[in-house]
Amino acid sequence: MSNVRFVFPKHRLAEVLRQPGGLPVSEALERAHANLELIKPNCRAELMELLEMAEARFATLGETYDDAGLVELYSLAVRGIGAGTVCGAPAVDEGLTSLCDLIDHLRTHQTYDRNAIGVNVRAWRLLTTPNLPAEGAASVLDGLRKVSKRYAEPAKAAQA
C-alpha cells in the first residue's frame, strides 16, 4: 500500500497581494493619467491612420453586398475602439461601436446599404474633430444609433 500525500504550493502572487503597501489609489490614478497623456499624440495619429484606411476601403465598396469588404471595415473599426477615449474624444468609440454593430447586422441578414455604411465612416471623421461640442457629438451618435437600429431586425432591413 502506498501513502498518497497532497501538497498545495503557496503562490507568491497571493502572498504579495495580501501584503500592505503600494501606491495609494489617487497616486496610481495620477500616474495612469500622466501615462495616457504621453501616448495621446501617438494614439490620435493611429486613430487617424485607421480612419484613412477605412475611408479608402469604403471607397472601393461597390453597390452590391461585399462580405470581404465589410469584414475589413469591421476589423479597422474595432481596432480603433478605445483610442477615442485616450485621445480625448470618447464619442469616437461610440461611433466605432455603432459602425461595428451596423456591419454585424448587415452581415447577419446578408443585406447591404452602402449609404448607411458611408454615414458611419463620415461620422467617424466628424467625431475626431478637435473641440467638437458635446451637443454635436451627442446628435451625431443619436443618428448613428438610429441607422444601426434600422438594420437590427431582418424585417426592418428588408423594408429599407
Q: List CB contacts of 138: < 8 A, sequence separation 6 or more.
A: 91
- pLDDT category, 157, cuts 50, 70, 90? very low
- Assigned domain for 149 exists: yes
- Domain containing residue 123: CATH number: 1.20.120.160
Dump the DSSP string for 5-20: ----PPPHHHHHHHS-
Structural domains in the chain (count): 1
- Assigned domain for 33 exists: no
Between 23 and 63, residue with greater pLDDT: 63
**By residue range, what is the domain housing residue 109?**
43-159
Residue given cell 469588404 in the structure block:
69
Q: What would the pLDDT profile of 4-17 be if each residue is shown by its tens digit? A: 888 777 888 877 77
Q: State residue 159's pLDDT score.
A: 53
Q: What would the pLDDT profile of 74-108 be if each residue is shown by its tens digit? A: 999 999 999 999 988 999 999 999 999 999 999 99
What is the distance between the alpha carbons of residues 22 and 41, in angstroms, rounded to a whole number?
30
